[in-house]
Structure 1
Amino acid sequence: MPKLTVLPHADLAPEGAVLEVAAGTSICEGLLDHGIEIEHACEQSSACTTCHCIVRKGFDSLNAIEESEDDLLDRAWGLEAQSRLSCQAIIAREDLTVEIPKYTVNHAKENH
């Protein structure tokens, strides 16, 4: 199983984390399954940017980005060349390292 390394995030993973996640799982699902409550205001339907993450290692192993995701990413806070919507980024067999940005475009958090 590939390892998903999460860089430290003050609120979601203060110490960072190394997770074993099954190939074929989205980054968002992998994080949520391991108790890392990344925002996902649209319930993972690719309609917002609250689950935006930056893939620091393994970016090229992910599924290809679709035009709709690419268009949405333009609205994400802290956009970088290695940015993805974690709900759309499907983990392959390669290990990944991700950073969850400090801020999102969401003004209010909800309990999911």
Structure 2
Amino acid sequence: MPQVIFLPNADHCPEGAVLEAQPGETVLNVALRNGIDIEHACEKSCACTTCHVVVREGFASMDPSDELEDDMLDKAWGLEPNSRLSCQAVVAEQDLVVEIPRYTINQVSEGH
């Protein structure tokens, strides 16, 4: 069973976390199921960037992002080549090492 390893993040998981995942499960669902409350303002519909994460290891094991996700990622704060929306990033058979960025853009709560 693959694991999703979350690097320490002061707001979401200060100690980091090593979590069991089911292949086919999204990174966001793994986090939420284990008490890591990654913001997801659009309720997992790929309509915002609040659940943006950076996949530090295992990125190539996931299916590539689609055009809609890529368009949304272009609006994310701190975009990197291995950035994904955690609501769209599906765990495969390989372990993932995931970093939750320090900041996120929430266009609803920020009044954009």
Correspondence for 1:36: 36
Deviations 1:62-97 (A, max 9, x none): 112100100110100000000000000100010000
Count of matched residue positions in the alignment of Structure 1 and Structure 2: 109
Report deviation, 1:106. 1.6
Report deviation, 1:30. 0.5
TM-score by length of 1: 0.94
Deviations 1:1-30 (A, max 9, x none): 101000000010000000001110000001
Amino acid at match of 2:105: V
TM-score by length of 2: 0.94
Distance 1:54 1:7 in 2: 10
Distance 1:81 1:48 in 2: 18
- Unmatched segments (≥5 aa) in structure 1: none
Q: Secondary structure at the match of 1:98?
A: strand
Distance 2:78 2:95 in 1: 23
Correspondence for 1:76: 76
Correspondence for 1:87: 87
Percentage of identical aligned residues:
58
- Unmatched segments (≥5 aa) in structure 2: none
Correspondence for 2:6: 6
Question: Where has structure 1 moved over 2 Å in runs of 4 or more?
Answer: none
Report deviation, 1:46. 0.3
Distance 1:3 1:47 in 2: 27
Distance 1:50 1:27 in 2: 13
